[in-house]
């Protein structure tokens, strides 16, 4: 029998990857879709009075099998794809999304939910149950349950088309990154790059059957090259390749963007919303486009002058070193790194020997124990989808099982770029039993080379802290229903647990736990620890404006009110960003054509949430700074009121329970030295 269609006979109910063939997913999707439809019919045809248990709980339980297998497959596709998995995704993604979309348009089911919703105030529901009912009801209303049959069919068709288009968009970016190589012939072509990087580039060439050295668009290869390579023309060549992803003839995403944006607008209009952003924000903490626009404008106003000064500072410094012409985009990382080395006395390469991956990970475990009382133990008997993955069992303060966490750290051709946290199994209660989660952290960090272990940049360290924060949000969940457990929260709240975790990476108390030389074991010099505090503010204005550019571009695409079939993405982007751009526009480049976050990653009309969550985390972390960054009393309050609660209550309520008031902007501006 298909392994996916029977209970997993594994410890902790983990997925037995080695027993699953790719083709098994096809049969599983067919069977589980049919079972889910039968469950839906049973609920709708139930003649008894609608209750929370016989409607919403039964629906959640009935869809759990399909949801878990679909999530598992999607996770595999992003972390370790192949041609077969690509074909399966294209064949079933639309069907599955269409089915889930049809649920929120089912009038018979809505009548039952509507009855529960209208009688909610007179019933004795918990806050979590009220949230589940409210969110479910809003989902029906927002997704067009009251539409006529013709309009429902329109939405269904749009969803199917969007599914295929977003997959195509993502695949174009992935293949563009995977296929591109800058094949350099001599060691001098990498002049300025550290020895470890040259070894890595040589290994990449060997792996591809090429002579010399290979540089790719994967961040661990791309970014150090841009920071250290002294050959300006090679930096320009690599930058142009990165900045034109999804723009070339073979992997052109311009038409995908036009169709995605057009279909999202059509969908929003059919559902009664003026724009896609207006539709999306009904289920966000910010709630309105005006709120987001005001928030972004306030941040631009507060930071743009600082960003201009950052550019002027690096430009002047570059000229002092003989930069042959005006500072260009492909120069900025190089001269910023040089400036940092000279004026801050630190650089990625100075710090890297102190940042061994395994030591950093163990320190994060130790920090989690100090803050939240939890502990981790590596477990090597769990079945894995790739040999590069490692797994740990997580224990609570009293030694009970909390969950399983997977780590997948290094780049490979089958993996999507970037870093993310996801879940193979959600947390929920069933029959009074707490079913614990399985979370996964996937990255593309600097891999080991020859006899040298994986030594991270400090940015990679911060990324690991960030994703681990998401992991804690999933692992510490203590909710009854998957509809609001773990990271299932309003989108602009989901980055709070991850971004607050980044703060500890800079704390001297925490740096002592992991910043040790990988060969000698000697702690990072105190002067570097002090400099890291300064580095946190280094180029902060520039970094803020870059993020605000992305957020502004996202909102511009998704607040359009007119058809966009013939709108040129390159020209549209140029017009939107001309007031924010810190450098002149370069012909042949485009951000939108590889903007996976918004065109294939779920962040449409939501990229602002990174800065929104940064406001929340800066205000929340101020509480730790006030009482002690390792203060367990504050940490346990954060665990109880934020991490355990998932989306069981509105985030404004949860934040206020922890902080004692609504969030304020001042701590964020103060954190980076802005007035």
Task: Give the β-pairing of 401-408 and 438-442.
Answer: parallel
Does an H or E element contain 41, and which? helix 22-44
Per the CB < 8 A criterion, the answer to whether 506 and 533 are in contact is: yes
3-state secondary structure of 140: helix
- The Cα 269–Cα 147 span in angstroms is 12
Angle at alpha carbon of residue 209, lines to 205 and 210, rounded to 5° = 55
- The Cα 640–Cα 638 span in angstroms is 6
3-state secondary structure of 213: strand
Per the CB < 8 A criterion, the answer to whether 204 and 224 are in contact is: no
The verdict on whether 283 is a catalytic residue reads no
Tokens at 137, concatenated:
């009801």
Per the CB < 8 A criterion, the answer to whether 388 and 80 are in contact is: no
Relative orientation angle of helices 83-103 and 58-79, to the nearest 10 degrees:
150
Q: Which of 337, 467, 623, 644 is catalytic?
A: 467
Per the CB < 8 A criterion, the answer to whether 661 and 625 are in contact is: no
Per the CB < 8 A criterion, the answer to whether 385 and 76 are in contact is: yes
Burial 629-668 (b: 16+ CB within 10 A, else e): bebeebbbbbbebbbbbbbbbbbeebbeebbeeebeeebb
Tokens at 35, concatenated:
């079972």
Chain centroid to CA 291: how far? 23
Question: Terminal CA-to-CA distance of the chain, rounded, Å?
Answer: 64
Chain centroid to CA 366: how far? 24
Distances from the Cα of 161 to the Cαs of 142, 157, 194, 260, 279, in angstroms?
Answer: 19, 6, 47, 9, 19
Tokens at 496, concatenated:
């709070």
3-state secondary structure of 439: strand
- The Cα 280–Cα 288 span in angstroms is 9
Contacts 24+ apart (CB under 8 A), 576-581: 576/552, 577/549, 577/552, 577/553, 580/300, 580/304, 580/545, 580/548, 580/549, 580/552, 581/549
Residue with tokens 């954060």: 638
> If we measure between CA atoms, which residue out of 63, 67, 25 comes closest to residue 41?
63
Distances from the Cα of 656 to the Cαs of 513, 613, 639, 642, 663, in angstroms?
Answer: 32, 14, 14, 10, 8
The total of other beta-carbon atoms located within 10 Å of residue 212's CB is 15
Per the CB < 8 A criterion, the answer to whether 235 and 331 are in contact is: yes
Just list the catalytic residues: 467
């Amino acid at each position: 029998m298909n392994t996916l269609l029977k209970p997993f006979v594994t410890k902790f109910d983990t997925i037995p990857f080695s027993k699953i063939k790719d083709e098994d997913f096809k049969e599983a999707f067919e069977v589980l879709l049919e079972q889910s439809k039968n469950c839906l019919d049973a609920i709708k045809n139930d003649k008894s009075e609608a209750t929370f248990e016989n409607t919403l709980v039964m629906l959640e339980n009935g869809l759990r099998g399909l949801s878990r297998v679909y999530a598992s497959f999607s996770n595999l596709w992003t972390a370790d794809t192949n041609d077969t998995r690509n074909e399966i995704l294209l064949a079933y993604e639309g069907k599955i999304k269409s089915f889930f979309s049809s649920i929120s348009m089912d009038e018979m089911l809505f009548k039952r939910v509507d009855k529960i919703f209208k009688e909610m105030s007179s019933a004795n529901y918990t806050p979590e149950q009220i949230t589940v009912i409210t969110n479910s009801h809003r989902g029906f209303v927002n997704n067009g349950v009251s539409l006529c049959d013709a309009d429902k069919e329109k939405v269904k068709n749009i969803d199917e088309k969007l599914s295929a288009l977003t997959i195509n968009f993502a695949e174009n970016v992935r293949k563009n990154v995977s296929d591109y190589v800058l094949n350099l012939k001599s060691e001098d072509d990498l002049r300025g790059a550290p020895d470890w990087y040259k070894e890595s580039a040589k290994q990449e060439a060997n792996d591809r059957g090429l002579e010399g050295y290979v540089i790719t668009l994967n961040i661990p290869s791309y970014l150090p090259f841009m920071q250290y390579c002294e050959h300006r023309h090679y930096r320009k060549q690599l930058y142009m390749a990165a900045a034109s992803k999804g723009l070339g003839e073979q992997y052109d995403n311009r038409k995908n963007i036009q169709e995605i944006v057009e279909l999202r607008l059509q969908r929003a209009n059919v559902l009664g919303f003026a724009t896609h952003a207006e539709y999306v924000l009904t289920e966000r903490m910010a709630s309105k486009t005006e709120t987001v626009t005001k928030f972004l404008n306030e941040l631009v106003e507060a930071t743009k002058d600082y960003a201009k000064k950052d550019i002027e500072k690096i430009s002047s410094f570059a000229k002092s070193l003989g930069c042959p012409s005006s500072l260009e985009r492909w120069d900025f990382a190089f001269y910023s790194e040089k400036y940092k080395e000279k004026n801050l006395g630190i650089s990625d390469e100075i710090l890297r020997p102190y940042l061994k991956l395994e030591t950093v990970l163990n320190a994060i475990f130790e920090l989690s124990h100090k803050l939240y009382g939890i502990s981790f133990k590596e477990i090597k008997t769990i079945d894995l989808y790739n040999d590069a993955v490692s797994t740990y069992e997580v224990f609570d303060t009293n030694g009970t099982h909390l969950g399983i966490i997977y780590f997948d750290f290094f780049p490979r051709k089958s993996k999507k770029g970037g870093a993310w946290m996801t879940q193979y199994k959600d947390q929920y209660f069933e029959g009074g039993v707490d079913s614990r989660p399985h979370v996964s952290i996937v990255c593309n960090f600097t891999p080991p080379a020859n006899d040298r272990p994986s030594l991270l940049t400090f940015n990679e360290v911060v990324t690991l802290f960030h994703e681990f924060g998401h992991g804690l949000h999933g692992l510490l969940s203590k909710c009854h229903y998957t509809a609001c457990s773990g990271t299932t929260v309003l989108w602009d709240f989901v980055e709070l647990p991850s971004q607050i975790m980044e703060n500890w990476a800079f704390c001297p108390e925490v740096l002592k736990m992991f910043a040790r030389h990988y060969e000698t074991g000697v702690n990072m010099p105190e002067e570097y620890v002090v400099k890291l505090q300064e580095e946190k503010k280094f180029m902060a204005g520039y970094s803020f404006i870059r993020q605000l550019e992305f957020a502004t571009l996202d909102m511009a695409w998704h607040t359009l009110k007119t058809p966009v079939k013939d709108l040129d993405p390159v020209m549209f982007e140029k017009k939107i960003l001309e007031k924010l751009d810190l450098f002149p526009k370069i012909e042949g480049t485009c951000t939108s054509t590889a903007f996976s976050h918004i065109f294939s990653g779920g962040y449409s009309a939501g990229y602002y949430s990174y800065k929104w969550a940064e406001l929340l985390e800066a205000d929340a972390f101020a509480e730790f700074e006030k009482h002690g960054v390792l203060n367990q009393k504050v940490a346990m309050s954060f665990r109880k009121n934020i991490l355990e609660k998932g989306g069981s209550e509105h985030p404004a309520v949860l934040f206020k329970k922890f902080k004692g008031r609504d969030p304020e902007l001042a701590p964020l501006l103060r954190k980076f030295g802005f007035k």
